[in-house]
């Protein structure tokens, strides 16, 4: 398999937080999403986590690239998950703790 070539990577659109918005909200890490295509291939939803290190620099960690079918599967599973009583309870606790 040929090596990854950044010149073949095309970001179609970006969603989610930015470094500027995260700093304004005093967040140490956040998740961003982008729709991207590699080598004119099928666009995929990319999920990245960006965070601030103790020294003030930032890191980016890719959480994956999802095909349209995987996005639909995830949507269905998240809908089911958010209906679970234990998940909703944990989410309310996190929101309360966040302020």
Q: SS3 for 73?
A: helix
| 0.75 surpassed by pTM | no
Using a 10 angstrom Cβ sphere, with 0-12 exposed, 13-18 middle and 19 or more buried, the burial of residue 74 is middle
- Domain extents in the chain: 1-66, 68-99
- SS3 (DSSP) at 56: coil
Pairing outcome for strands 44-52 and 9-16: unpaired
Q: Are 63 and 45 in contact (CB under 8 A)?
A: no
Tens digit of each residue's pLDDT, the chain (99 residues): 789 898 999 989 888 766 676 676 677 778 888 889 999 998 899 888 888 888 988 888 887 888 889 889 888 888 888 888 887 888 788 777 765
CA–CA separation, 14 vs 43, rounded Å? Answer: 13
């Amino acid at each position: 398999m040929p090596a990854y070539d950044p010149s073949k990577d095309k970001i179609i659109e970006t969603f989610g937080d930015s470094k500027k918005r995260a700093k304004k909200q005093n967040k140490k890490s956040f998740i961003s999403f982008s729709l991207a295509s590699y080598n004119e291939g099928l666009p995929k939803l990319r999920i990245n986590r960006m965070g601030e290190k103790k020294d003030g620099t930032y890191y980016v960690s890719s959480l994956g690239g999802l095909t349209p079918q995987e996005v639909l599967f995830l949507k269905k599973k998240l809908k089911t998950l958010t209906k679970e009583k234990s998940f909703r309870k944990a989410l309310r606790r996190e929101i309360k703790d966040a302020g």
